[in-house]
Amino acid sequence: MKSLKLLLLLLVFQMQAQQGGMWIPSLLQGMNEREMKNLGMKMSVEDIYSVNKSSLKDAVPHFNGGCTSEVISPKGLILTNHHCGFDAIQTHSSVKNDYLTNGFWAYKMEDELPNEDLEVTFIVRIEDVTAKVLEGIATLTSEADKQKKIQENIASLSKSLPKESWQENKIRTFYEGNQYMLFVTETFKDVRLVGAPPSAIGKFGSDTDNWVWPRHTGDFSLFRIYADKNNRPAAYSKENVPYVPKHFLPISLDGVAEDDFTLVFGYPGRTSEYLPAVAIEQIVNELNPAKIEVRDKALKVQDGFMRKDNAIKIQYASKYAGIANYWKKWIGETQGLKKSNAIEIKKKQEAAFQDKVVKAGKQAEYGNLLADFEKNYKEIAPYALSRDYFIEVVLRNTELLSVTYKMYQLEQLLNNKGEQAFNDRKTNLINGLGEFYKDFNAAVDEKVFEQLIDLYIKKSPKQFVPESLNNVNIKALTAEVYGQSALVDYKDVRELLTGDSKTVIEKLKNDKAYQLVREMADKFTKEVAPKYDEINLRISSLQRTYMKAQLELNKEARNFPDANSTLRVTYGKVKGYEPKDATIYKPFTYLDGVLEKYIPGDYEFDVPKKLIDLYNAKDYGIYGKNGKMPVCFIGTNHTTGGNSGSPAIDAQGNLIGLNFDRVWEGTMSDIYYDPAICRNVMVDIRYVLFIMDKYAGAKNLIDELKIVHPKQNISTTKIKKLRYKKR
């Protein structure tokens, strides 16, 4: 009996041990391959990544640097999240042509909409270049010199390593500077909008449901990559043709069952899984609460205006979602870190680490690491907090201050680089700011300013707040800044920027917003940033040594590199979880749940009439199952921001879903991954196709896809027949 229990425990432990991590696709042989096969994968790692033949990686481009997408047709059709395509959809929207509200569908290729600042990047191959990057640094002693040499090596290697003329070499660091990899990439700049469901589907549940399970969002949009006649990257042109991919993902209509293998392939942005406890304490107790409070205030103001005025709602939709997203994430993360006892667990791990260091006789090299972390995190605390306030208040959430900061940079540029640089930047600014002012509403921003400047003065470290702001009357200051500054109006800004550098700077110095930002920014750039950077450099160096030590002393551990916006594989299973005592979450949601959440006319939970009709008629075509329409599912794949739009792939390499979020209890997975409660959220591919086909009638797009039934062995032609019969 006892040994059976032990065996079971061991099994559970092994299963959990196989979860988590974001792995480099070119290095999956060995442990990862074994784990994936254990979890049920039927492919080989060569099917995922190969330099010699087409593989899954050829179907997974980085979407505009921040999201992931996947190619799903031989004509360059790509799928990503609605929230990843949101900016593009919004840019093409107006009160008259409101694609955010109504959706957009190109029923012919001619109707697909070009996008100025949108690109996708494919990985051609990945190579380890660690030895080359670290050449010549062994003899250097200072950290700054080492970093400088490394940067020089990276710059020269990026130029000299072989690639085609239309490709790029990018070198990225892994394990905090313990490994360097080269990525040869191809970037396509003609990417057109093909389809988007209405926000009531693509963003259903909006901010209330964001980061939450159970979820019912059809978070997808469609784009198409265009290339020149030779199938190579090219700037937008009418002559361009649909890109022919090396690989595109077949789509499985079989759906998923609990415990099925899943692989998520994409570009996770940033994680910090190897932070010492003292750093997590700082995040939980100081930095997250400060940032949350700033955004709390900004959001309340914007929300008030958006609910009353539809034009403002369109202007601020994307900005609001952007601010709200991490605001909510930080709240969940803070709670999760507390609830999972992450700090205590890390402290225990650190004690064990310290023992290992002693046992290995490595005190000289690694013995002081943890004490040094303590010292440096204590020292950086006021600078880190002040920096976060500056970033959140000035750069991120008060629009007038952030646009004025660009003027501050313009003055700095003049001082450092001279008249020519000044003029070039000035011209760029004048042209670029049109976009900004199109969505700027001074009345909204004035209220935001009033709230945030108050926080800044009262809560950020006193010693870095400009003296002139001590005892200032906030209301009077606000009225003065927004009443007097030329920067609240695009026309006035253009006038302000007319003339030679002397005239422009003169005018700026008389501007009330400029005076304020200049004082704040001077404090920041002279007293906060340099010291922060200095301590932070020391911390990075400690972190690198700490990582090196763990790689050396914890060889048996599953040490995966933190996310760094490069292509990664994460794998796991479809799995529910227990969020709290006596509560069990199942891993699947259905259209029934959409109707349960339906609030007529609500800006988050309204449901389009056509979707209700399809639901009532149970008209799900070939996409439903047992009379129900699947919507979302969750799994144990370890994902983070940037994984949005990532394909969820089955054991054979078919597309089964589209990653778009994580669950509330598990948002701390960027810092501490707990396999019991960390889950990624995916929209079921059958819901995507159902919306495209049955809701939008975009048969033209469905016809491009390769739909398969791997479990049932039905041919593509048969599926096509079925599809037409079921209409």
Angle at 236 between CA 234 and CA 239, to 5 degrees: 85
For the question of residue 216 being annotated catalytic, the response is no
Q: Are strands 251-252 and 261-266 parallel, antiparallel or unpaired?
A: unpaired
644 binds ligand ASP (CB under 6 A): yes
- 3 state SS of 426: helix
Residue 321 contact among ligand ARG, ligand ASP, none, beta carbon within 5 to 8 Å by kind: ligand ARG
Q: Which residue lies nearer to ligand ASP by CB, 118 or 547?
A: 118
What 8-state DSSP symbol labels residue 79? E
Q: How many residues bind ligand ARG (CB under 6 A)?
A: 12
Residues sharing a CB contact under 8 Å with residue 465, sequence separation 6 or more, in sequence order: 456, 457, 523
Q: How far is the CB of 165 from ligand ASP (least distance, A)?
A: 32
| Distance separating alpha carbons of residues 85 and 285, to the nearest angstrom | 35
324 binds ligand ARG (CB under 6 A): yes
Residue 647 contact among ligand ARG, ligand ASP, none, beta carbon within 5 to 8 Å by kind: none
Q: Which residue lies nearer to ligand ARG by CB, 101 or 325?
A: 325
Residue 251 contact among ligand ARG, ligand ASP, none, beta carbon within 5 to 8 Å by kind: none
Residue 218 contact among ligand ARG, ligand ASP, none, beta carbon within 5 to 8 Å by kind: none
83 binds ligand ARG (CB under 6 A): yes
Alpha helices in 226-287 (DSSP H): 277-282
Cβ atoms of 186 and 124 within 8 Å: the answer is yes
Rg of the chain taking only CA atoms, in angstroms: 27
| Distance separating alpha carbons of residues 240 and 539, to the nearest angstrom | 48
Q: Which residue lies nearer to ligand ASP by CB, 451 or 639?
A: 639
112 binds ligand ARG (CB under 6 A): no
Residue 131 in tokens: 């030895």
Q: Which residue lies nearer to ligand ASP by CB, 254 or 661?
A: 661
Q: Which residue lies nearer to ligand ARG by CB, 300 or 711?
A: 300
x/- mask, ligand ARG, residues 657-686, rule CB under 6 A, reads ---xx-------------------------
**Piece of the chain touching ligand ARG by CB under 6 A; list 319-327, 331-339, 454-462, 528-536:** 319-327
661 binds ligand ASP (CB under 6 A): yes
Angle at 26 between CA 186 and CA 246, to 5 degrees: 40
Alpha-carbon distances, residue 77 vs 195, 322, 496, 534, 701 (angstroms): 10, 26, 45, 46, 8
Buried b (16+ CB within 10 A) or exposed e, 604-618: bbbbbeebeebbeee
- Contacts with ligand ASP in 190-219 (CB under 6 A)? none
Catalytic residue among 58, 219, 445, 661: 219
Q: Which residue lies nearer to ligand ARG by CB, 206 or 589?
A: 206
Among 332, 85, 121, residue whose Cα is nearest residue 219: 85
Helix (H) or strand (E) holding 572: strand 568-573
E strand intervals along 129-255: 168-174, 179-188, 190-196, 221-227, 241-242, 251-252
Q: How far is the CB of 670 from ligand ARG (least distance, A)?
A: 11
Catalytic residue among 644, 650, 661, 674: 644
Cβ atoms of 500 and 526 within 8 Å: the answer is no
**Piece of the chain touching ligand ARG by CB under 6 A; list 206-214, 414-422, 433-441, 484-492:** 206-214
For the question of residue 644 being annotated catalytic, the response is yes
Q: Which residue lies nearer to ligand ASP by CB, 485 or 669?
A: 669
Alpha-carbon distances, residue 430 vs 433, 441, 512 (angstroms): 6, 18, 20
Alpha-carbon distances, residue 609 vs 127, 216, 303, 356 (angstroms): 52, 16, 26, 63
Please provide the distance, in angstroms rounded to a whole number, between the alpha carbons at the two ends of the chain: 57
216 binds ligand ARG (CB under 6 A): no
For the question of residue 219 being annotated catalytic, the response is yes
E strand intervals along 342-411: none
- Contacts with ligand ARG in 37-66 (CB under 6 A)? none
Residue 464 contact among ligand ASP, ligand ARG, none, beta carbon within 5 to 8 Å by kind: none
What 8-state DSSP symbol labels residue 561? P
Q: Which residue lies nearer to ligand ARG by CB, 211 or 405?
A: 211
Selected from 328, 447, 638, 662, the binder of ligand ASP by CB under 6 A is 662
Whether the bond between 530 and the residue before it is cis, its omega within 30 degrees of 0, is no
| Distance separating alpha carbons of residues 84 and 64, to the nearest angstrom | 9
Cβ atoms of 323 and 396 within 8 Å: the answer is yes
Q: How far is the CB of 23 from ligand ASP (least distance, A)?
A: 17
Selected from 276, 641, 653, 657, the binder of ligand ASP by CB under 6 A is 641
Q: How far is the CB of 642 from ligand ASP (least distance, A)?
A: 5
Selected from 35, 98, 176, 207, the binder of ligand ARG by CB under 6 A is 207
Q: Which residue lies nearer to ligand ARG by CB, 304 or 483?
A: 304
Selected from 643, 665, 673, 679, the binder of ligand ASP by CB under 6 A is 643
Cβ atoms of 587 and 45 within 8 Å: the answer is no
Q: Which residue lies nearer to ligand ASP by CB, 120 or 521?
A: 120
CB atoms within 10 A of CB 621: 19
Residue 12 in tokens: 């559970």
Q: How far is the CB of 220 from ligand ASP (least distance, A)?
A: 13
660 binds ligand ASP (CB under 6 A): yes
Catalytic residue among 62, 83, 247, 638: 83
CB atoms within 10 A of CB 271: 22
| Distance separating alpha carbons of residues 233 and 228, to the nearest angstrom | 6
Residues sharing a CB contact under 8 Å with residue 502, sequence separation 6 or more, in sequence order: none
303 binds ligand ARG (CB under 6 A): no
Alpha helices in 560-649 (DSSP H): 591-597, 609-616
Residue 36 contact among ligand ASP, ligand ARG, none, beta carbon within 5 to 8 Å by kind: none
Q: How far is the CB of 389 from ligand ARG (least distance, A)?
A: 23
Q: Which residue lies nearer to ligand ASP by CB, 153 or 659?
A: 659
**Piece of the chain touching ligand ARG by CB under 6 A; list 31-39, 68-76, 320-328, 645-653:** 320-328
639 binds ligand ASP (CB under 6 A): yes
- 3 state SS of 42: coil
Residue 210 contact among ligand ASP, ligand ARG, none, beta carbon within 5 to 8 Å by kind: ligand ARG
Selected from 20, 641, 657, 666, the binder of ligand ARG by CB under 6 A is 641
| Distance separating alpha carbons of residues 3 and 358, to the nearest angstrom | 34
Alpha-carbon distances, residue 349 vs 413, 490, 608 (angstroms): 47, 55, 51
x/- mask, ligand ASP, residues 34-73, rule CB under 6 A, reads ---------------------------------x------
568 binds ligand ASP (CB under 6 A): no
318 binds ligand ASP (CB under 6 A): no
321 binds ligand ARG (CB under 6 A): yes
- 3 state SS of 683: strand
Q: Which residues are catalytic?
A: 83, 219, 644
Residues that bind ligand ASP (CB under 6 A): 67, 639-644, 660-662
Residues that bind ligand ARG (CB under 6 A): 83, 206-207, 210-211, 321, 324-325, 641, 644, 660-661
